Amino acid sequence: MAKVVFRPSGKTIECEVGDNLLEVARRADVFIEAPCNGSKSCGKCKVKLLTGEVSQEVSSHLTDEDKANGYILACCTTIIGDIEVLTNSSLDVAMRGMKVEGGDKAKDKALFDKAVEIAENHNIKLENNIKKTCITLDEPTLDDNISDVDRLERHISMNFGKQMTYDIEVLKVIPKAFRKNNFEITITYREFDDRLEIIDVEPGNTESELYGLAIDIGTTSVVVCLVNMITNEVVEKGASGNGQLQFGADVINRIVYAIKKNNIEKAKAAVVDDTLNMLINELVKASGVKRNNIVSVVASGNTTMSTLFLGIFPDYLRLEPFIPPFFKSPKLNAKEVGLDINPSAGVYLSPNVASYVGGDITSGVLASGIWANEENVLFIDLGTNGEIVFGNQDFMMSCACSAGPAFEGGGISCGMRASAGAIDSVDIDPETLVPELNTIDGEPAIGICGSGIIDLICEMLKKKVIDRRGKIHRDLNNERIRFDENDIGEYVLAFAKDHDHLDDDLFITEVDIDNFIRTKGAIYSGAATLVESLGMDFDCVDKVYIAGGIGNHLNIENSVFIGLLPDIDRDKFQYIGNSSLIGSYLTLLSDEAKAKLEEIGEIMTYVELSVYPTYMDEFISCCFLPHTNIDAFPSVKAILEG
- Contact residues for its own copies, defined by CB under 8 A: 140-142, 145-150, 165-168, 170-172, 174-176, 179, 310-313, 315-316, 320-332, 335-337, 352, 354, 606, 608, 611
Q: Closest separation between CB of residue 306 and its own copies, Å?
A: 11
Minimal distance in Å, beta carbon 524 to its own copies?
A: 24
* Chain center to CA of 606: 22
- Phi, then psi, of 73 in degrees rounded to 5: -100, 125
Nearest CA among 169, 172, 116 for reference residue 148: 172
Nearest C-alpha neighbor of 363 from the set 590, 541, 552, 189 = 590
Question: Cα dihedral sign for 35, 39, 42, 45?
Answer: positive
- Residue nearer to its own copies on the CB measure, 245 or 345: 345
How far is the first Cα of the chain from the last one, in angstroms, to the nearest whole number? 67
Strand order across the beta sheet in which 543-547 lies: 573-577, 543-547, 377-382, 386-391, 396-401, 605-606
Phi (first) and psi of residue 221, to 5 degrees: -120, 150
Sign of CA dihedral 338, 341, 346, 352: negative
Contact 97, 220 (CB under 8 A): no
Nearest to 354 by CA among 395, 385, 382, 393: 385
Nearer to its own copies, 77 or 303 (CB): 303
Q: How far is the CB of 26 from its own copies (least distance, A)?
A: 23
What is the residue type of 283?
L
> What's the closest the beta carbon of residue 147 comes to its own copies, in angstroms?
5
Amino acid (1-letter code) at residue 328:
K
Q: Which of 166/507 has CB closer to its own copies?
A: 166
Residue type, 462: K
Nearest approach in angstroms of CB 168 to its own copies is 5
Which CB atom, from 149 or from 640, has the smaller least distance to its own copies? 149
* Contact status, residue 44 vs residue 62, Cβ threshold 8 Å: no
Q: What is the dihedral of CA 615, 366, 345, 294, to 10 degrees?
A: 120
C-beta separation of 86 from 8 below 8 A? yes
Spatial distance between the Cα atoms of 5 and 205, rounded to a whole number of angstroms? 52
Least distance (Å) between residue 268 CB and its own copies: 10
Task: Give the residue with the Cβ less far from its own copies, 8 or 330.
Answer: 330
**Closest CB 479 distance from its own copies, rounded Å:** 54
- SS3 category, 550: coil
Min separation Cβ 324 and its own copies, Å? 5
Smaller CB distance to its own copies: residue 177 or 589? 177
Task: Give the nearer residue to its own copies in terms of CB position, either 192 or 313.
Answer: 313
190 has which bridge partners?
130, 197
d(CA 310, CA 520): 31
Considering the complex, state which of residue 72 and residue 332 has its C-beta at the smaller distance from its own copies. 332
Is residue 208 classed exposed, middle or buried when 0-12, 13-18 and 19+ CB atoms within 10 A define those classes?
exposed
Question: Least CB distance from residue 544 to its own copies, whole Å?
Answer: 28
Residue with smaller CB distance to its own copies, 116 or 201: 201
Q: List, edge to edge, every strand of the sheet that includes 506-509.
A: 481-483, 489-494, 506-509
CA atoms 339, 341, 347, 353: torsion sign: negative
| Cβ proximity to its own copies, 188 vs 558, nearer residue | 188
Backbone torsions φ then ψ of 619, nearest 5 degrees = -60, -45
State in angstroms the smallest separation of the CB of 278 from its own copies. Answer: 22
Closest distance to its own copies from the beta carbon of 385 (Å) = 17
Cβ closest to its own copies, residue 110 vs residue 146: 146
Shortest CB 624 distance to its own copies, Å = 30
> Do 73 and 56 contact (CB within 8 A), yes or no?
yes
Closest approach of its own copies to the CB of residue 113, in Å? 34
If the CB atoms of residues 179 and 463 are measured against its own copies, the closer one turns out to be: 179
Q: Which is nearer to its own copies, 178 or 524 (CB)?
A: 178
Biggest CA–CA distance in the chain, Å, is 98
| CA torsion through residues 439, 443, 444, 449, sign | negative
